[in-house]
Amino acid sequence: MAQAIRQEVAKGVAECVSRGVQPGLAVVLVGADAASQLYVNSKGKACLEVGMHSETIRLPTETTETELLALVDRLNTDPAIHGFLIQLPLPKHIDESRVLLRINPEKDVDGFHPVNVGKLVVGNPTAFRPATPYGVQQMLIRAGIESKGAHAVIVGRSNIVGKPMASMFLQDAPGGNATVTVCHSRSRDLPSITRLADILVVAIGKPEFVTRDMVRPGAVVIDVGINRVPDAGNAKGYRIVGDVAYGPVAEVASAITPVPGGVGKMTIAMLLLNTLQAAQQSRLSV
């Protein structure tokens, strides 16, 4: 599915280029977080594969908030950059919320700016949808799993996944029209709620948290989690697991996403799609 979306994006990029606009994405990385560096490299490679202009800006950990804000201001006005993002997390001495608010909402391809959050809630089609829940929605649509009238239960209420996922499920549009329940750390008797789900989306950040007894037989399970757990039998000393106990839950679910190789594959594809959307909207506004 991710590859199909990339091919669709490449076609859209070629159309933009034929009209004199090459969609451009910039990624800003502050510091030397290993996981972030790997992710940033993947984004740059993906851009080149679909014909986009790509910039990766690496800044040292000691970069000041003032310096980072000045860079955001520059990218906001750079005509070659249609979308950009600041890789999180940022060093502790930088206020993430202040930096994210400084990004031009028309270039906020992560979909984290309050303007885009509001647009998503009210169903404005120009909104940029956060890439991970957007990818989940596309997986369901492309797999032919109907959300209309289904009970979608989301475990986790983060601004990155849980809240935007709920908004998408509620929209009167493909991949929406669901009845939505959002669970979190204060929810009482969580298993009794998750067992009501026709579609269960888990994004709580706890390894193999959802077990077989928490899933109704026949439910669709989407695992958004990525966790490292110790594994002495692995050469790296760890293995990657999701927020769902995959093996046991797969025995009762009608469909389930693996970790790795599931939702993560979709995230960069949707970021590319958002960048194409930004270029198209920029072109239309000229």
From 3, 7, 33, 43, active-site residue: 43
213 is catalytic: no
DSSP H helices, the chain, are 2-18, 34-49, 65-76, 96-102, 114-122, 131-142, 162-170, 190-194, 246-250, 263-285
Distance CA 221, CA 219 (A): 6
Distance CA 252, CA 216 (A): 7
| Tokens found for residue 99 | 């930096």
22 is catalytic: no
From 11, 22, 45, 87, active-site residue: 87
87 is catalytic: yes
In terms of phi and psi (left: phi > 0; alpha: psi -120 to 50; beta: otherwise), the region of 88 is beta
How would you label 240-258 residue by residue, b for 16+ Cβ within 10 Å and e otherwise?
bbbbbbbeebeeebebbbe
Distance CA 255, CA 136 (A): 13
From 108, 110, 198, 223, active-site residue: 110
Active-site annotation, residues: 43, 87, 110
